[in-house]
C-alpha cells in the first residue's frame, strides 16, 4: 500500500512539474524575448510569469480548470482553445507524458523519492532550454545555475558524491575547444551552446559524456535534415542545438543512472 502511494506521488509530482516548466518556458519567451519584452518592468514580468492564470497564448482568455488537468486536459479541449479555436501545440502535453515515465523509471532504479524528484526538476530546466532555443535560438543564461544546482544536489543527497577533478577537466577541455569553434564558425555555434555542452558533459562525467556528445550531434543533423527548409541550403540553415542537447541530456542521464546502479554490464578500464 505504501509503495503504491509512493508511485502515485511520483506520477503526480512529475506531471505537475512538467506542466509548470512547460508553461514557465513559454512565458519566459513571451515576456523576456517575445512581443511583451518591452511592455513591463522586471518585477511585473515575474509577477505575470509566476502568478497569472493559465491562458491561451493567442487570445489570452483564461483556460477553464478542467482543461488544465495534466495530459487529459489537452485532449478534453479538443487540442485547441475553446475561445478562439487556435490549435494547441503537441509539445504542451509531451512533457506531461514523458516526465512520469522518466520519473517511474528513476524511482524503480534508485528507490529514492527525493532524488527522483530533483532529477525531474533538472529535466524541467532542460525543458526551458528546449523551448527558448526552439522559439528564439536563445539559451537563457539565468537558467544555467539551476542546471548545475539540482543534479549536483541530487547526486550528493543520493550518493554523497560531488563533481570531481575529472568532471572539471572535461568542462575545461570542451569549453576551450568549443569556444575556439564559436570564434571561427562565424555565428554558427553560439556562446550559450559553448557553456551548455561543456557543463552538461561535465555533469555526466566519463564515459557518458561521449554518448551525450554523439547523440546530440547525430540527432541535430538527422532532424534538421528531415525538417529543413528546402528552399535554402542545408549548410546555411540555423540549428537550435539547445533543443537537441536538452533532449539528449535527459536520455543520457537516464542511461547513466541505469548503468551506474548495476543494471547493465559494462566493461571499462
Measure the CA–CA gap between 267 and 75, rounded to whole angstroms: 46
Residues 132 and 19 in one domain: yes
Residues 117 and 178 in one domain: no
- Can you read off the three cell numbers belonging to residue 109? 532504479
Say whether the peptide bond before residue 207 is cis (omega within 30 degrees of 0): yes
Residues 138 and 187 in one domain: no
3-state SS assignment for residue 147: helix
Q: Cell 534538421 appears where?
A: 224
Average pLDDT, rounded, for the chain: 88
Residues 100 and 208 in one domain: no
Listed in sequence order, the DSSP H helices in 137-267 are 144-159, 165-184, 191-204, 208-226, 241-258
What's the pTM?
A: 0.91
pLDDT single digits (tens) 137-146: 899 889 999 9
Whether the per-residue pLDDT at 268 is higher than 60: the answer is: no
Q: 33 pLDDT band (50/70/90 cuts)? A: confident
**114 neighbors 122 (Cβ within 8 angstroms):** no
Residues 10 and 112 in one domain: yes
Residues comprising the chain, all counted: 269
Whether the per-residue pLDDT at 5 is higher than 90: the answer is: no
**204 neighbors 256 (Cβ within 8 angstroms):** yes
Residues 102 and 215 in one domain: no
pLDDT (0 to 100) of residue 187: 65
pLDDT (0 to 100) of residue 265: 47
Residues 193 and 142 in one domain: no
Residues 16 and 141 in one domain: yes
Residues 19 and 67 in one domain: yes
Measure the CA–CA gap between 254 and 259, rounded to whole angstroms: 9
Summarize the confidence of residues 62-74 as an average pLDDT.
Answer: 83
pLDDT (0 to 100) of residue 229: 74
Beta bridge partners of residue 87, listed in sequence order: 80
Domain count, the chain: 2
Q: Structural domain of residue 65, as residue ranges?
A: 1-157
Residues 144 and 236 in one domain: no
Amino acid at each position: 500500500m505504501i509503495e503504491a502511494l509512493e508511485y502515485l506521488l511520483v506520477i503526480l509530482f512529475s506531471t505537475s512539474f512538467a506542466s509548470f516548466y512547460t508553461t514557465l518556458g513559454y512565458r519566459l519567451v513571451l515576456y523576456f524575448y517575445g512581443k511583451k519584452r518591452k511592455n513591463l518592468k522586471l518585477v511585473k514580468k515575474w509577477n505575470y510569469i509566476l502568478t497569472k492564470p493559465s491562458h491561451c497564448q493567442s487570445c489570452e482568455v483564461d483556460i477553464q480548470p478542467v482543461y488544465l488537468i495534466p495530459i487529459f486536459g489537452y485532449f478534453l479541449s479538443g487540442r485547441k482553445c475553446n475561445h478562439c479555436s487556435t490549435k494547441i501545440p503537441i509539445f504542451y502535453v509531451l512533457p506531461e507524458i514523458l516526465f512520469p515515465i522518466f520519473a517511474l523509471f528513476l524511482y524503480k532504479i534508485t528507490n529514492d523519492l527525493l532524488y527522483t524528484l530533483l532529477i525531474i526538476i533538472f529535466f524541467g530546466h532542460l525543458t526551458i532550454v528546449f523551448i527558448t532555443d526552439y522559439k528564439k535560438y536563445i539559451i537563457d543564461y539565468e537558467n544555467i545555475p539551476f542546471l548545475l544546482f539540482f543534479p549536483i544536489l541530487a547526486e550528493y543527497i543520493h550518493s554523497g558524491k560531488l563533481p570531481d577533478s575529472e568532471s572539471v577537466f572535461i568542462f575545461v577541455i570542451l569549453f576551450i575547444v568549443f569556444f575556439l569553434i564559436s570564434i571561427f564558425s562565424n555565428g554558427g555555434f553560439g556562446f550559450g551552446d559553448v557553456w551548455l555542452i561543456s557543463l552538461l558533459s561535465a555533469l555526466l562525467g566519463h564515459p557518458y559524456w561521449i554518448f551525450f556528445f554523439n547523440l546530440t550531434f547525430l540527432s541535430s543533423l538527422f532532424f534538421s535534415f528531415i525538417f529543413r527548409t528546402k528552399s535554402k541550403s542545408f549548410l546555411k540553415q540555423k540549428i537550435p542545438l539547445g533543443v537537441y542537447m536538452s533532449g539528449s541530456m535527459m536520455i543520457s542521464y537516464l542511461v547513466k543512472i541505469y548503468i551506474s546502479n548495476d543494471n547493465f554490464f559494462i566493461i571499462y578500464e
